[in-house]
Chain A
Amino acid sequence: MYKYVFRRVYQLIIVFFLFLVSSYVLFDAIPGNAFQNLLLNPDLPPEAYEQVIKLYGLDKPLSERVILYIGNFFQGDFGYSYKHFPRTPIELIAERLPRTLMLFAMVNIIAFYTGFLIGKILAWRRGSKSETWITVTSVFSYTIFYPWWALMMLWFFGYKLNWLPIGKFLYPEKWYDAPYDSDVIFVSMIKFTLVVSVVQILVYIYTRNIESLSLRRNVRFISLSILAILSILYWNSGDLAIQKPYAMDIAYHMILPIFTVTVVAFAGTALLTRTTMMEVMKDDFILTARAKGLSQKRIRDRHAARNALLPVVTSFIFTIVTIIDGSVLTETIFSWPGMGQLILDAVLEEDIPVAMASFSFIGVFALIAHFIADISYAYLDPRIRIQSQG
């Protein structure tokens, strides 16, 4: 297993290196550069423009620049943003990332769970009327033209009903004399969500070995209740009591984007789960499980859904990268100033250091996600575990 992990890490480093080089070359291939609009200013002599180009090292040939950039990159120097000069790309990312992370981590987790849940119920109720209707609805929401859908949602919930805010991630007037920066709030929200999810997973893992089913259910219920009470206490203590109203404001702004993206994103998972699970349900071990006298729910969850999980997790891993880059479309439509907008602006303005830093950040994340996927396959399917040892 260690050998396997080592080999994978080694491959990932090479892939990442190639990714960096090709990204840089591609950015360079875009015609023009970030400072060309200086030439349009009649008050500036052309020498000034050349001076600036020289200052940023853009006069050097491409090969030299690539080597320089990658050398600096691995020393942790990402340069300065061309457009927000004194700020570094890392500062910009540090500001934008928590916003995107919070929103899209939520979206992905909710979409995955609802998708998987609905998919397995659909497969289990094959042939019923509700199955037909939900499947048709899922196909509809899977194929819907996303920008139109997002605008419709904004119009309906934000304008017509006026229940939810139209865009932005906070009400500026509320934050006028806020003691905290919005990023601080985002970070504590992320920390909280992370801790809660980890505790939930731990509760699930540790109660798995309780033999009696009713006891297991009760233990899980009680521990989740304790967790809920603890989190209420947590948000009412010390610093966080002051942060709470602001966190609530952000959460309120998150409802509409989460709902809109989830409606589109869950359908893919649901349909995939439905198909794979229907395949699994034909297998003989499902018949064995029924003959053993197990309950329908247990056969569905433990035997059918568990075996259908692998392809679903694979597709989930591929979409997980959107946690970082955000959907550029979503962020634009909902005016959510996160990573997606940062990348879009950086590319349009040819702010190469920022674009490169964001892209390499996404690259690292994607590679790590795939690495985790490989390892989780081994956990999900013991047959892969054996092969990977050899």
Chain B
Amino acid sequence: MNILEVKDLDMSYRTIDGEVEAVKKVSFTVKEGESFGIVGESGCGKTSVAMSLLQLQADNGKITNGEIIFNGKNIVGLNEAELREVRWSGISIVFQGAMNSWNPVVKIGEQIREAMREHYPDKTKDENTKKIIELFDIVGLESSIIDRFPHELSGGMKQRAVIALALSCDPKLIIADEPTTALDVVIQDQILKEIRKVQDVLGLSLIYISHDIAVIAEMTDNMAVMYAGSIVEMGKTSKVFSDPKHAYTRMLLESTPSIVGPKKKLRSLDGEPPSLINTDPYCLFSYRCPNPDDNCQNRKIEMKLTKIDTDHYVDKCCVNCG
């Protein structure tokens, strides 16, 4: 059963210089209980995809095309009140940078309770508090944190509390948008384990967004690699890692050190990500492609994911070159 189906999603930001096409023809599906990873460099549109799913994009951002089918219902174009019902009780988000996800002047417990009050108006305060304590138990926090203010918590504690917050309204899908960015490595590992545990215990679907391909490997069943607003490769995580087809995926993998196997020099990718203002439909990676063929160099092939294997899709342009 697919919990989430994204079809041909286009999203753009209106700026003074023109339309920035941050998300272009993105399609993917997330099955119930599965975790799906999105990886890519900064500015490739990962977070824009996440924000589009809940339609929380900035005021100048607009979904111009496509469907987001959540739980069998298209949520693109819903009005504010209908969206508010989907938010948090359907899809919740663990934001990047938990430091700033909390309102500094309201107690942690009250901020969680506030979301519960919105989605379960009939519950009493005691019931809500009881549930928060249960959630805190799952993510490894003491119950006394309910009455603390955000600044009294460490970064790791805040991030754990953010996970508890994300779980508070029994969502079916959680989007984790670089949840470990601002944390040190030890805490990062703990948080990742916590997310895995929560997912297993509660049987949730998860979309994990990160620029760290190693974390994606550890966390997800299926994954997509994004480049310049488009998905360039998608498939089972194990397959993408063992047999990367797109040149960009390969470069990403080679830029990460591995602790097993022979020593290899780390490669870095030359050039900069392209501007996304008024782009054409052709492959945007050809400028940076390490071994382009003629088609690639002349930019003749439109970007489109092609199936090359069961559960493995790659951009048409890069099937042959790279």
- Give residues in A with beta carbon < 8 Å to B: 127, 209, 211-214, 283-285, 287-296, 298, 302-303, 306-307, 380-383, 386
Contact = CB atoms under 8 A, between A and B. Distances in A.
Given A212-B121, A293-B88, A380-B105, A284 B97 contact: yes
B87 A382 contact: no
B103 A303 contact: yes
B87 A292 contact: yes
Contacts of B128: 211
B80 interface: yes
B93 A291 contact: yes
Interface string B115-153: 101110111110010000000000000000000010110
Contact of A285 (B93, B101, B118): B101
A291 B54 contact: yes
B113 to A, nearest CB: 8
B104 interface: yes
Contacts of A290: 56, 87
Contacts of A383: 104, 149, 151
B95 A287 contact: yes
A291 B104 contact: no
A213 B105 CA distance: 20
B105 A294 contact: no
Nearest to A381: B105
Nearest to B122: A212
Contact of A307 (B54, B93, B104, B149): B104
B56 A287 contact: yes
B53 to A, nearest CB: 10
A294 B119 CA distance: 9
B95 to A, nearest CB: 6
Nearest to B104: A383
Nearest to B149: A382
B214 interface: no
B59 to A, nearest CB: 8
B102 A285 contact: yes
A294 B101 contact: no
A284 B56 CA distance: 12
B87 A293 contact: yes
Given A291-B95, A380-B105, A382-B151, 6 more contacts: A127-B59, A213-B117, A290-B87, A291-B87, A298-B114, A303-B106
